[in-house]
Structures are given as structure tokens and as C-alpha cells.
Copies of this chain bind each other. A is one copy, B any other.
Amino acid sequence: MSQPQTEITVGLIGAGRIGASHARILAERVPRARLAVVADPRPEAGQALAQRYGARSVTDPLDLIGDPRVDAVVITASSDAHTELIVAAATAGKPIFCEKPASLTLPDLDRALGAVAAADVPLQIGFNRRFAVDFRAAHDAVVAGAVGTPQLIRSLTRDPGLANPAGVPPWTIFLQTLIHDFDTVAWLNPGAEPVEVYATADALVAPDHKASGLLDTAVVVITFDNGARAVAEASFSAAYGYDVRAEVFGSAGMVTAGDGRSNAMVLRDAGGLHQGTARGDVELLGESYVAELAEFVSAVREGREPAVTGHDARRALVVALACIESVRQHAPVAVATMTAAARPGVR
């Protein structure tokens, strides 16, 4: 599997929106990857996606995982299925790419990571912002010392729209959305670990759904063990499009990443100056999805650990869980209280 010229045969589990996007990328954009099987419990969805790229489809993901012709597994199923799928794939000795969040609870995640560690298979989590060229350049600048010691960090996610407020599970804003930002701020503060979290959240976009648990707007302050404070912020309804940005201010300077403009065209007319804004995650961050899957396939081919690991997934999840606790307690929460019961030793 690690010979440079080998083509990696990939099975993809979950034919939803992000599954369809990853399938296209695996089929058309990632060199030396081949999308061979798509698994989805809904036969039509799986078949339609598989046929588009000349792949087979199955309804039971365990058939895909157990197929000896499948070299690696890409999990884009619903989040609550991630744990079992990771465990199954690891047990089958298959390298795993799993969309964020890796799991929704810490016991689940530790069980998944334990299986991965026991099988010693590569596991990559879908924190795609790490692969956006400007975010990566910002990270490289931080690592190179260009901003000195990080002191104030910012990461935000603004989604263009909240189509179906009623369908959003509680705590989604922390577990599914801000989990990206929690990873980003830790990645941009290399070597530091979060120690405390304060979170506040509300239903400002769809206040009618607050009673049923919807939180569509949130601000989180994270204190790291090197003293840096990070602010992570999210909204489920940005009128101007999809907006993802980061900022690291340190003792020697500042880097920023994220530019919501759709391209470099500028129009000036009687109303002033105008530029287009990116309308969706794929428009804004499309190349980052390609790059993360290319990294995964490379890591599989080279038999090495991918650039985003289970450790990263765990740190982000712990912060998300601390946010939930902070909202419940209406107080800052020590991150250690989240992990006290958790097993150590995952990579």
C-alpha cells in the first residue's frame, strides 16, 4: 500500500451532500485514487452517486469495509454513525478518513481512537481549513515565528443560511460548526493546549426555535496554557455568503486568513465599488477539500500518519463539550473537567 506508484481504491460511506462532493473529488481530482464503492442505506442515493463515477454501491457499510478490494475508507455518514464506522474500519485494518466530528461524545471518541490505535491504521479528520492555502500560509508563518508568541487568536464561521431550523440537533453549533474553529485556533497556536472555555449562545436567527434547543449564534473564549486567548464565533445565517476567517496576533505581529470574496474582479459604478462574495463552502473552500483528500491518499500510500489526527479531533471535541457545559452552567469551564474520565494514550 505504501509503494509510490500504487493506486488507492477507496470506499465512501454516506451519499449525502458532503459525500457527493468527496466522491466527485476522489473520482476526478485526487491523483492515484479510485472511487470503487459507495455505501448508503438508501439504495437509490448510493446507486446514483456510485454510477456517476463508475463505482459500485452497497447498502451495508460493513460490506464496503470488509471488501478486500477496498484499500481505504472515507466516512461521510451522519455524525452519530461515525464511532461505529471508525471502529469497524479500524478493526478491518483499513485507513480511515472521517468527516468532523469524529464522534459526538468523549467515550465514543476514545473508543474509536482506541480501535484505531490498536489497529495502527491512519486516521484523518475532515478539518479542511488546514488545507486552504491562506490558512496554511498563516499557519506556516506562525510556525516560522513571524508573529512571535500567539496572544490573541480569532476564528469564525458564518454559514449562508439556516434552511431548516427545526431539523438542527441541539448543540450543533458547537459540535458540528465551531468544532472547525476549535481545531483552527489550536492549530494556529502550536504546542499550546486549551485549558478553559467560556461560551455564550443564542437563537438570534430563528428565535422561534430557541425553545426546542436551537442555538444559531455563539461566541466562545478559549484560554490556552500559554496564556493566549482565542475567540471562536459562529452564525448560521450570513446574508452575504459563506465566511470563514482566522487571525493570530502575537508578540511580533499578526497574520490573517480568509477572504470571502468570490474572485478578484472589482466593479466600480455609480453606486461605488463592488465585489462578489462566495456563496457556499464549496465555492469558498473547494480546493481545501481536494487537498485534504489528496493528503489522505498520500498518507495511505506512504504508510504514514496524516496531517490531521485523532488527537486533533479529541482536542476539538473536548472544547466543544466544554462549551456546552459552559452554556449550561453560565460560567467558564475548565477543559480538564471534560477529560477527567477519559482514557489517555490516543494519538
Contacts and interface: CB of A to CB of B under 8 A. Distances in A.
B137 A276 contact: yes
Nearest to A24: B31
Contacts of A256: 265-266
Contacts of A137: 262-263, 265, 276
A204 B227 contact: yes
Contacts of A192: none
A156 to B, nearest CB: 8
B269 A272 contact: no
A89 B155 CA distance: 47
A134 B269 contact: no
Number of copies: 4
A309 interface: no
Interface string A228-239: 110101010111
Interface in A29-80: 29, 31
A138 interface: yes
A138 B263 CA distance: 10
Contact of A239 (B198, B219, B253, B258): B253
Interface hub of A29, A147, A198, A330 (most chain B Cβ within 10 A) = A198
A233 B262 CA distance: 27
Contact of A265 (B151, B207, B229, B255): B255
A277 B271 CA distance: 8
Interface in A234-266: 235, 237-241, 243, 249, 251-266
A231 B231 contact: yes
Given A274-B271, A277-B268, A204 B228 contact: yes
Given A219-B152, A235-B152, A253-B239, A276 B267 contact: no
